[in-house]
Amino acid sequence: MPPSTMETSSPANDLRARIQDRTATIGIVGLGYVGLPLLRAFFRAGFPVLGYDVDDEKIAMLERGESYLKHLGEDFVAELAEADKFSASSDPARLAEADAIILCVPTPLGQHGEPDMSYIVKSSEMVAKILRKGQLVSLESTTYPGTTRGDCLPILERTGLVAGQDFFVAYSPEREDPGRQDHSTQTIPKLVGGIDEVSTELANELYSSAIAQVVPVDNAEVAEAAKLLENIYRCVNIALVNELKPVLAAMDIDIWKVVDAAKTKPFGFQAFYPGPGLGGHCIPIDPYYLTWKAREFGHHTRFIELAGEINNSMPNYVIRRTIDGLNELGKPLRGSKVLVVGLAYKPDVDDVRETPAAEIIKLLFEHGADVSYHDPHVPLFAGMRKYMEYRMHSVPLTEDAVKDADCVLIVTNHSAIEWGKIAEHATLVVDSRNAMHAHLPIRGNYVQA
């Protein structure tokens, strides 16, 4: 590393030395789907780690060695609870102990689709109260370009400390994908961009100590925009196949077979698959952060907004296909027993953030259906925001439950589900995930959605 910039600041040199000898305490703010895996990465790299969260129950579970994120397993959390180099707290004053503070807080949308920056602002204000010389603050939450420099930095500088000299600020977007087996936090390349050269160098030094590949970029704004591009790319391409799905269905063409055929081309094509709508924290939300920010600069992101409209319309398409399937049996949706299979937003995880299953269940109830659900990973759906009234428990996937349902509606294709039982005993299957392809033809009626 070039010595020029690092030699200008004693706090920078001290912090760099602590990072290199693994004595720097790493504070993680927000112990959810992003923060806890990141804490694990630094813990396994040999750093003392301090986890902070406002949820006292999470803190208590970690101290007891119990995992609340099942895809991370129980062994890691049990290891944490017994380690001297780990502590967790809901007391923000404890963050004064940290040499590097990494913010992993939510960035949801408000009521009218606008960015909700309250978590970033409040966590920045919290850090400002304990900020001292020699600390590095890194933001990982997905947000619009300019947040780190324009929103976080001014709050931190109210302390009178000088950024780039007394303390350091960077942006490094999370790239978590819960449940993925071929990559982990440690192996997914990490982008890093600081608000100045020294901050970039220190953040690069920090993350390189725990992550296999770190990619420094020019500044925080490049890193912020790159994260949005990654998610917008997925959103737009998913919207494309979602738009094609009803078109090809009208032509009696199977969209999944079309995508599988197209992906045999070794260049110029990447396979994306349709579904019942978008879920997770990233794809349904993040593109709108750029849409909102673009208006400030006089631009209208029509492509992004159109993709959002298409993807958001898919739960309604699933309901229409369910109605079609029931009509073929001479039954209305009102009063019919619908067993929704799969509540999580993606296969083999317990993550229900922004799951399209919630909107589908809401629409089913509004149409007067008798709704139940089965999900081996989600025993309780406690509701979320506008779905709070739909609190439900998963029912066992028994032969009788399948037979008793007028329609089995597949929303999530978990590998643990007994698809053969559905194929053998269901009267009607409405499949939004192509989950039954290996069991076709089934004994009952089958409708793709």
Beta strand 380-381 pairing with 392-393: antiparallel
**Distance (Å, whole) CA 72 – CA 308:** 31
Burial of 182 (C-beta count, 10 Å sphere; 0-12/13-18/19+): exposed
Collapsing DSSP states into helix, strand and coil, what is residue 238?
A: helix
Expressed in percent and rounded to 5, the helix, strand and coil fractions of the chain are: 45, 15, 40
Q: Is 282 part of the annotated catalytic residue set?
A: yes
Task: Quickly count: other Cβ atoms within 10 Å of residue 114's Cβ.
Answer: 12
How far does Cα 441 stand from its chain's mean position?
Answer: 35
Looking up tokens 């986890």 gives 51
How would you classify residue 30: left for phi > 0, otherwise alpha for psi between -120 and 50, otherwise beta?
left
Question: Are 62 and 81 within 8 A, CB to CB?
Answer: yes
Collapsing DSSP states into helix, strand and coil, what is residue 302?
A: helix
Query: Among residues 104, 152, 235, 282, which one is catalytic?
Result: 282
If you write DSSP's letter for every residue of 330-345 in order, what string do you get? T--STT-EEEEE--SS
**Distance (Å, whole) CA 204 – CA 170:** 9
Q: Which long-range contacts (CB under 8 A, 24 or more apart) does 116-120 make?
A: 117/143, 117/147, 117/151, 120/147, 120/151, 120/152
Active site residues: 282
